[in-house]
Amino acid sequence: MIEKIKSNLLAGIATIVPLALTVYVIQVTLEVTIWLGGTVAEPLERFVNANFPGFGLLSSLVGLLIVFLALIIVGALARNVFGKRVVNWMEGIFKKIPLIDSIYATTKQIIETLSGSQTESFQKVVYIEYPRKGMWTLGFVTGESVNEINEQFYHLFVPTTPNPTSGYFVIIAKEDTTPADVNVEEGFRMIVSSGIVGSHKNSIVK
């Protein structure tokens, strides 16, 4: 009973915290946008004596544009060598803090999954019987190969849930897989949400 309560508690935390953090980030972004819009609008209004209808909306759009450009600049910096070192250093700090490491990893994975930045290297999604016959899971095709007698195989990444940054590499015969009726991004959303998000139908045939 206690173990069940503990499991439900952890599942609740893993579900609610990333969602709450995402909402918080959106809220902060909107507040910064409005603040920047007001900051830009005040001197601009004095300079051009602007007092026309819709000027407040225009200033908010300018603030949103500034936030958008700032995100692009941060993203560009994070992709170069120095920026990656800074990001890795900060991630290393987060990973050393209990609970924070799980929250950060899950939230990051959700954002990357929704943006599609971590799904480009996967070709398609299939179902396989894993870890034993009669149990099915999603596998993401990363490549193909053939053996000496021309039998065809898939190279699969089988992610763990709810954090698919880890998983298993599997080589499996094509005939032992079943094409999934979801695309790569939908498959990752199913993994991240532990099956909460996704279609209620599948193509598995026993």
Judge contact between 191 and 118, C-beta under 8 A. Answer: no
**Which uninterrupted H or E stretch holds 142?**
strand 136-146
Close Cβ partners of 80 (under 8 Å, ≥ 6 residues apart): none
**What integer best gives the mean pLDDT of the chain?**
75
- Tell me what pLDDT residue 18 has: 66
Q: Is residue 119 pLDDT above 60, yes or no?
A: no
pLDDT band at residue 170 using 50, 70 and 90 as cut-offs: very high
Q: For residues 124-136, give the mean pLDDT.
A: 90
Q: Is residue 80 pLDDT above 90, yes or no?
A: no
Nearest CA among 113, 125, 119 for reference residue 183: 125
Residue with tokens 């490549």: 143
Q: Domain residue spans in the chain?
A: 2-115, 125-192
Q: What is the pTM of this model?
A: 0.48
Q: Pick the residue with more confidence: 143 or 47?
A: 143
Is residue 139 classed as helix, strand or coil in its secondary structure?
strand
Q: Pick the residue with more confidence: 6 or 157?
A: 157
- Strands 167-173 and 152-159 come out as antiparallel
Q: Is residue 102 pLDDT above 80, yes or no?
A: no
pLDDT band at residue 178 using 50, 70 and 90 as cut-offs: very high
- Tell me what pLDDT residue 49 has: 57
- Span 26-60, pLDDT tens digits: 787 777 766 766 666 666 666 655 555 666 666 66
Phi-psi map region of 198: left, alpha, beta (phi>0 left; psi -120 to 50 alpha): left
Q: Is residue 152 pLDDT above 70, yes or no?
A: yes
Q: Is residue 20 pLDDT above 70, yes or no?
A: yes
Nearest CA among 144, 125, 146 for reference residue 136: 125
Q: For residues 123-151, give the mean pLDDT.
A: 91
Q: For residues 83-94, give the mean pLDDT.
A: 73
Q: For residues 137-150, give the mean pLDDT.
A: 92
Distance of alpha carbon 82 from alpha carbon 186, whole angstroms: 33
- Tell me what pLDDT residue 85 has: 76
- Tell me what pLDDT residue 106 has: 65
- Tell me what pLDDT residue 30 has: 74
